[in-house]
Amino acid sequence: MRIRSKVNLGSSLYGLAAAAAVVFAVPAWAQAEGRGENGRATQAGGGEFDAEGDEIVVVGSYTTGEELDSATGLGLSIQETPQSVTVMTAQRMEDQAIRTLSDVVNNAAGVSAKARDSSRNGFSARGFGIRNYQIDGVPLQWGGGDEAGESLLDMAIYERVEIVRGATGLLTGAGEPSASINLVRKHADSRELTGSVSASIGRWDAYSVSGDLSAPVTADGTIRARGVVRYAENDSHVERLHDQTLVLYGVIDADITPDTRLSIGASYQDNDPSGTTWGGLPVWHADGSRTDWARSKTNGAEWASWASTNETYFANLTQNIGETWSVEIYGTNSVNKGNLRLLYLSGQPDAVTGLGMSSSAYGADTERSQIDVGFRANGTYNLFDRSHDLVVGASYARQDYESLTYARDPLPPVGDFNAWDGTYPAPVWGARSQAVDLRTKQWGYYAATRFSLSDPLKLIAGGRLSSWTREGLNYGSMLDFGDKNRFLPYVGVLYDLAPNHTVYASYTRIFEPQNSRDRNGDYLAPVAGENYEIGLKSSFFRGALNTALSVFRIEQDNLAQPDVGHTVPGTTPPAQAYYAARGATSTGFEIEANGEILPGWSVAANYTQFEAEDADDNRINTLYPQKLLRVFTTYRFRGAMDGLTIGGGVNWEDTSYSDTINPITGEDERLEVESYALVNLMARYELGNGLSAQLNAENLFDKTYYSQIGFYNQLAYGEPRNVTLTLRYQF
């Protein structure tokens, strides 16, 4: 069945015009009104920025004046970066009670998350999966949400999250042309004793306690330490599902000399769930009709668990050279371990008797260890009587991944799935055997410069010479593929139309090796992703409010397609041969506003719309929504109601689906997540002396929706209404 998905042009233009009116007209109105006393404008979180001086300090806001290294490495602001960039700030994460990386993706601009089961979520942007991650700008080789604990990463140890959309090969190397997510750790930046402690309770017996303490180690504050601890435990709207999480983090930041800074630290996260689901609920009954389960229905067993630990050690040394240059050397060692005891149920149960389901158990111990080292030098140089910026760097990463799987005895019958309550007997696990033993290496050399052609005109040009290889055992097959010395260019042009208003155009590229061979036995060339983007970025109130409008086109080529009738020579049994085909395109626009539009009134609003199609104009990756609206706003009262902050927002996404065949009737069928909107509210009251109470309500109207349907022809329900109360003390 051929599916064509075309966005109505009139609707697209109307949506673009309406969104533009909100994003750009409101700041124009607010620009004349948003000043506090003495020429200072205040932030929703209680911070201030200087309306007259040169230095911008944005505190407690939904935007940031920090330099960003996640796109170019040049240390540019949001407005100076010629790509779409969203920053999820600490204030916004606090206001929305955002706890995990999945929560970030579900609330940020232009990205979305789909549940695969209770332990995994798949992330996407602009129609393609997200597999590129960074921590403090260091690229990581994660499994795109499939590894234990990745999408459940706790946000307690991170100051903010930077999301750069489009191809990001300059800094991240291999991956898809979707987005890169950079997690920026908290650091010991305070020379005085500061910190916070908090405790929360919520629905389904949820509670957590956390502490964040920063203090000087030496009297003059040249050596400082910071520690974070968080413990959380909760049941779920899904029967038998229980989660338990422990997070520990410590970092020491030392000014060894006025020009030398050293950071060393470690983090640890332990996820210990029970009643874990693996996959989703059945879509069809035995007669081919659709199922209609309660949202609390589980397919997990009470003994099932996808437990994981993540342990990371890092060091970073920065040396300033003169007034304009610095050199940074970094190293990171991380170990992610998984302990999997899972149960998978499949089939179509009888609507009356519940019979017809089959079971399969899986036990494995996994370990992914990764070492990252690299250096980066950046600064300025003079040419033709103008000052320009330059960054050069190199990085190397090695990842060793192994999975040891357990044999098991045959499982008893499932019985009546309608009455399933998770009390299914655990299998008897037998001997372990090596299923996966892979080594992945990635290294590269990169450079980029920003030419100041004139005061309003800047040109960014650079590239990366990137290599990626993988070899080893993978479930009975020996792998040995990759690509070396692939050049990934980066070009961006920016022009200041007026102070604080910049138009830009950029071209970025990325690649991803693929383990497919042609009829001659040769590996296919890597999948190549290219991103073309033009846009307008504006800032107001000296950086307190940022807006952006972008139009983009992504092209992905060399995607492996079956070469019908041909096999790979020398393979036993004969392996299917493939050819590199014209790939996919994604074309669309995004519009976004983040920051403060009036004193005390902060907003994060964005709308994304795109079409992702293959070479025959068929919609691709249909499980990813192609329209997203995310709005959240808070207002902090003054005067008689001083101390009260209220806020709310809505997350809306359009239809996503999977086209499949009904296994009973044999007819084509579409499994669809209908468009839905989730409304969230919050209120916080500052009780005085650093103590505050905050109430968050998520999915306020208790909307029933699928968090996914179509992944292996199964389904899962999203979380019902949830309410959380948090007490916080800051000092």
Residue 357 or residue 115, greater confidence: 357
3 occurs within a structural domain = no
CATH of the domain at 72: 2.40.170.20
How many angstroms separate the most distant Cα atoms in the chain? Answer: 83
Q: Which H, E and C letters describe 23-39, residue by residue?
A: HHHHHHHHHCCCCCHHH
The contacts of residue 265 (CB under 8 Å, 6+ apart) are: 185, 249, 250, 251, 252, 313, 314, 315
Rg (CA), the chain: 26
Given this model, what pLDDT does residue 388 score?
98
| CA-to-CA dists, residue 194 to 9, 184, 197, 455, angstroms | 53, 19, 11, 41
Q: Is the peptide bond before 562 cis (omega within 30 degrees of 0)?
A: no
Exposure pattern of 16-43 as b/e (b: 16+ CB <10 Å)?
beebbebbbebbeebeeebbeeeeebbb
Using an 8 Å Cβ cutoff, are 621 and 664 in contact? no
What dihedral angle (degrees, nearest 10) is formed by the CA atoms of 381, 384, 385, 390?
A: -20
Using an 8 Å Cβ cutoff, are 173 and 470 in contact? no
pLDDT band for position 583 (50/70/90)? Answer: confident
648 occurs within a structural domain = yes
- Closest alpha carbon to 91 in 572, 604, 469, 475: 604
Instruction: Point out the least confidently predicted range of 100-109, 114-123, 140-149, 180-189.
Output: 140-149
Answer yes or no: is pLDDT of 9 > 70.
Answer: no
Average pLDDT over residues 702-717: 94
Average pLDDT over residues 593-621: 94
What is the count of structural domains for the chain?
A: 1
Answer yes or no: is pLDDT of 564 > 90.
Answer: no
- Whose tokens are 């383990």? That residue is 515
2 occurs within a structural domain = no
396 occurs within a structural domain = yes
Exposure pattern of 205-217 as b/e (b: 16+ CB <10 Å)?
ebebebbbbbbbe
Given this model, what pLDDT does residue 151 score?
83
pLDDT band for position 147 (50/70/90)? Answer: low
Range of the structural domain that residue 375 is part of: 9-730
CA distance 345 to 280: 8
Average pLDDT over residues 36-43: 35
pLDDT band for position 164 (50/70/90)? Answer: very high
Top-ranked range on mean pLDDT: pick from 48-62, 446-460, 556-570: 446-460
CA distance 680 to 702: 10
Average pLDDT over residues 645-665: 96
Residue type, 385: D
| CA-to-CA dists, residue 666 to 288, 404, 657, angstroms | 9, 38, 18
- Closest alpha carbon to 62 in 636, 641, 685: 636
For 245, other C-beta atoms within 10 Å of its C-beta total 21
For 67, other C-beta atoms within 10 Å of its C-beta total 12
| CA-to-CA dists, residue 634 to 454, 532, 608, 685, angstroms | 40, 34, 22, 13
Answer yes or no: is pLDDT of 251 > 80.
Answer: yes
Q: Kindly report the backbone phi and psi dihedral angles of residue 610, in degrees, each rounded to the nearest multiple of 5, phi listed first.
A: -155, 165
376 occurs within a structural domain = yes
Given this model, what pLDDT does residue 223 score?
98
pLDDT in tens, 308-360: 999 999 999 999 999 999 999 999 999 999 999 999 999 999 999 999 999 99
388 occurs within a structural domain = yes
Residue 51 or residue 206, greater confidence: 206
Instruction: Kindly state the tokens that stand for 723.
Output: 């309410």
4 occurs within a structural domain = no
Residue 57 or residue 67, greater confidence: 67
CA distance 594 to 652: 18
pTM of the predicted model, to two decimals?
0.91
pLDDT band for position 16 (50/70/90)? Answer: very low
CA distance 587 to 166: 11
pLDDT band for position 143 (50/70/90)? Answer: low
Residue 19 gets which letter from DSSP? H
DSSP, collapsed to helix, strand or coil, labels residue 414 as: coil
The pLDDT mean for the chain works out to 90
pLDDT in tens, 454-473: 999 999 999 999 999 999 99
Q: Kind of pairing, strands 601-613 and 584-598? A: antiparallel
CA quadruple 91, 93, 99, 101: dihedral positive or negative? negative
Share of the chain above pLDDT 70, in %: 91
Given this model, what pLDDT does residue 311 score?
96
- Closest alpha carbon to 564 in 579, 553, 552: 579
CA distance 713 to 282: 8
Instruction: Kindly state the tokens that stand for 560.
Output: 């492996």
CA atoms within 13 A on the CB side of 140: 26
Given this model, what pLDDT does residue 144 score?
56
Using an 8 Å Cβ cutoff, are 215 and 227 in contact? no
Using an 8 Å Cβ cutoff, are 260 and 319 in contact? yes
For 668, other C-beta atoms within 10 Å of its C-beta total 11
Using an 8 Å Cβ cutoff, are 328 and 376 in contact? yes
Answer yes or no: is pLDDT of 186 > 50.
Answer: yes
Average pLDDT over residues 161-172: 96
1 occurs within a structural domain = no
Instruction: Kindly state the tokens that stand for 6.
Output: 């075309």
